[in-house]
Amino acid sequence: MKDAVAETDAVALTADLIRCPSVTPEEGGALVLLEARLSAAGFACTRVDRGGIANLYARWGDKGHARSFGFNGHTDVVPIGAREDWQFDPFGAEQAEGWMYGRGAVDMKSGVACFAAAAIDFVTQTPPDGAVILAITGDEEGDARDGTVALLDWMATEGEAMDLCLVGEPTCPTEMGEMMKIGRRGSMTFYFEAEGVQGHSAYPHRAKNPVPALARLVDRLAALELDQGTAHFDPSTLAVTTFDTGNPANNVIPATCRATVNIRFNDAHSSASLTEMIRAEAAAVAAETGIKITDRLSVSGESFITEPGRLSDMVARAVEAETGRVPEMSTSGGTSDARFVQHHCPVVEFGLVGQSMHQVDERVALDQIPQLKAIYGRILADYFA
């Protein structure tokens, strides 16, 4: 029988983490706090800092064990915005009317606190035949080049491995337990520049206007039907997000014009196949108009899917046991660090209701924190059963 006194208080740990001002790329004391708590529970902790980013790897159990379950999450948070817009201190973890307020309350210090607390209690009370691993980064909200990627690079070098991984991002739209993420869409951004010849608007024949050419290109791109969706994904989307000349004069034809296009794509495509398609459209418009069009490309991640099976089944059973809901398996939303973990092992995401993430007065329902901890504890017990 579990000793109730020995239970790790996930609500208190969430509050302690919120009080750490860990706005990307600042560590803010969050990983120092977690390392102390985990080390005291018998976890072997290693700081895997890279490029000015703080990361923490914690393992309970022998390295290279035949069975190892991992959690991944981040303690860095986005900026608070205007302080005067907050009704409570954004790093105060103040409680009111059943809520805890603070930057990172939902995204995702509560998730980290819950899986850390669940892991501590599990290995302390029922030491498993295997390893429990926590890979926690301070670079999810930033460029994400030296966060989870650095942890995975270090793990490969050191012979560390997770068999399965659960990312604790907030996944539920409105009700606790309604959704898990079994994959994510890919994301890529094109930054186009059309180059013409500047001139007087009264003498357009002496100039070469790049604006109509780039407008033609983005109109064609916006009209593309990339696909009609796949088995686990909605249709891919393409959005024109900027169109700029930076031209303050109404009587000058500009020499350059720029536009930005963001694509969220499913597993019918890769970034390479979409790049070929988009650049072919740009080349066609350039040939038709005589305007030089170049681009700069940024790929945030490829689409991926963890096929429903052992991991998603364990998550579903635990969620249903604690909430009475069977979570929908979804691939909606933006990107997360699961896009990196999926190259290492099967990965699923499950966490809290995320309605207030990145908002002023970000807050977490106090009753959901112990509920999430219990879900993570059930998953560990199921895996090592």
**Taking 70 as the threshold, does the pLDDT of residue 254 lie above it?**
yes
**pLDDT tens, residue by residue, 183-206:** 999 999 999 999 999 999 999 999
The pLDDT of residue 333 is 86
Place of tokens 């393992």: 59
The pLDDT of residue 2 is 45
Task: Go through 317-339 and write b for each residue having 16 or more CB atoms within 10 A of its CB, e for each that does not.
Answer: ebbeebbeeebbbbbebebbbbb
Q: Is 118 exposed, middle or buried, given 0-12, 13-18 or 19+ CB atoms closer than 10 A?
A: buried
Crossing angle (nearest 10°) for helices 310-323 and 368-384: 140
State the DSSP string of 185-234: -EEEEEEEEEE-B-EETT-GGGSB-HHHHHHHHHHHHHT----S--SS-P
**From CA 114, how far away is CA 118, in angstroms rounded?**
6
**From CA 236, how far away is CA 230, in angstroms rounded?**
9
Write down the number of H helices and E strands in the chain. Answer: 9, 19
For residue 257, the cross-strand partners are 194
The pLDDT of residue 39 is 98
CA 66 to chain centre: 29
The set of catalytic residues is 76, 140
66 vs 200, which has greater pLDDT?
200
Q: Is 234 left (phi over 0), alpha (psi -120 to 50) or beta?
A: beta
Place of tokens 């490969």: 156
Q: Return the half-sphere exposure (C-beta side, CA atoms, 13 A cut-off) of residue 260.
A: 7
> Which residues, 6 or more positions from 210, have their beta carbon under 8 angstroms from its beta carbon?
194, 195, 196, 254, 255, 256, 257, 291
Return the SS3 of 109.
Answer: helix
**From CA 26, how far away is CA 348, in angstroms rounded?**
27
Percent of the chain having pLDDT more than 70? 98
pLDDT band at 5 (very low <50, low <70, confident <90, very high): very low
Q: Which amino acid is at 259?
A: A
| Mean pLDDT value of segment 78-93 | 97
**pLDDT tens, residue by residue, 315-359:** 999 999 999 999 999 999 888 999 999 999 999 999 999 999 999
Q: Is 375 left (phi over 0), alpha (psi -120 to 50) or beta?
A: alpha
**Taking 60 as the threshold, does the pLDDT of residue 85 lie above it?**
yes
Crossing angle (nearest 10°) for helices 368-384 and 109-125: 50
**pLDDT tens, residue by residue, 262-313:** 999 999 999 999 999 999 999 999 999 999 999 999 999 999 999 999 999 9
The pLDDT of residue 143 is 87
> Which residues, 6 or more positions from 292, have their beta carbon under 8 angstroms from its beta carbon?
194, 195, 196, 286
Residue ranges and CATH numbers for the domains of the chain are 4-184+304-384 (3.40.630.10), 186-301 (3.30.70.360)
**From CA 134, how far away is CA 140, in angstroms rounded?**
15
Q: Is 246 exposed, middle or buried, given 0-12, 13-18 or 19+ CB atoms closer than 10 A?
A: exposed
Place of tokens 């169109």: 243
**pLDDT tens, residue by residue, 137-194:** 999 999 899 999 999 999 999 999 999 999 999 999 999 999 999 999 999 999 999 9
The pLDDT of residue 334 is 84
Q: How many CB atoms are closer than 10 A to CB 90?
A: 24
**pLDDT tens, residue by residue, 213-238:** 999 999 999 999 999 999 999 999 99
Q: How many CB atoms are closer than 10 A to CB 371?
A: 17
The pLDDT of residue 1 is 39
